[in-house]
Structure 1
Amino acid sequence: MVLVLDDHPIARQGLESIIKIHKPDVQILQAGTVKEGIDLTEKSQIDMAFIDIHLHNESGFDFLEWVQEKEIDMKTFVITSSSNENDFLRAKCLGIDAYLLKDAFIDDIVYGLKVVERGGKFYSADLIENVGNASEEEKKIDMLTRREIEVITLLRKGYSNAKIGEVLYVSEGTVKKHLSNIFGKLDLYNRAEAMLFAERNSEKLQLTLKQSEIS
């Protein structure tokens, strides 16, 4: 059984028609919201789900995180208009089996479906080519240690050195050393600049933290 999660009825119907090309006898369920997708998954044996990331007023990531949290045995196939590198990397962290853009050819979708069924991974070629073309600021984040990312993330929230130390169970002096290292690696001069940097790159910082948790 296959689930199609997309907030646009026409997109859901179009994808169902494409899936039927390869699997004419499969039963396909449609959901327009994350809640509908979760309800259908709880009631039915879903073998594969096609998920759009950017839904109306919500995110397909919420569904993917729920699937991961519940450890549901299901193939997940993201098909979206988002070519954002952070979206792609976040989806990979959530164990997706395929990631394709909505402007893909029908043959690409069908081929991706076959690859996933065989246990492989299938990602949009255009997306793979662009991965790594991050901004200079995003590249600097890769030089930070996990602890330094934790420190600058808390700094973004306006925490004092003492409060950061309390949260991370380290001394205030240790926090100052981390901040000194952060300023050096990111070419920053003070807390205000660090806070602005963290605000601009909050998604990248959160993603890097999540990747370090599962590696």
Structure 2
Amino acid sequence: MTGAERLALYICDAGMTIDFFERRGLPDAFHRQYLDDMYRLDPFDENLADLPDVDVALLSDHLAHDGAGAEYRRFLESFQIANMVEMVFRTGNVLAGMSVCLPQACDRSTTESICKAAHAFHPYILFNLSVLFKDGKIGSRDDIIARYGLSKREAQVAELICKGFSNGDLARALHVSVATVKTHLLNIFAKTSVTNRTSLVSLLMNQ
């Protein structure tokens, strides 16, 4: 999508808990601030289930110009994001979304082109998500522990990896050192017979 090189993909279970988060081009600071606090102000996070008829939309069309809306706009602007094209996908009990970040230099014509492309791609992405989640759910932490013999902490680390956490993010979230995180990762890789994060996410998302 020309003019939009940063995006985030998130997948929620039936209880609106984010089970997977992947980002491209968005810095760690954006991810940390969003998960720590800013998600509350995002109408396509807290209220996603209340938007049953929305498939593709501009974030600005759902943000107020004052209060929480203004605060969220300032947060985005601090990362040079002028707007977002929001894509919503529903398959079974799984709810997913993709946020395509529009840079401040993005003009109206480019924004309209990106929105048209999002509408065109939406059914194809939805189809692939439907295939990925044939049973309409993502495995729980207990499922992961039982299937692969992970400890509770290892299962927690595996879940956070699926949500897009870097080693630094994991260390801060779990209040441990990066070295400890790396040890957990090596143990998880050994128990699940994978060699990297991408393979681990693919394995857990397809179980």
Would you say same fold, with TM above 0.5?
A: no
- The structure with the largest helix share of the pair is 1
Higher RCO, 1 or 2 (CA under 8 Å, sep at least 6)? 2
TM-score norm. by structure 1 comes to 0.29
Give the greater-gyration-radius structure (CA).
1
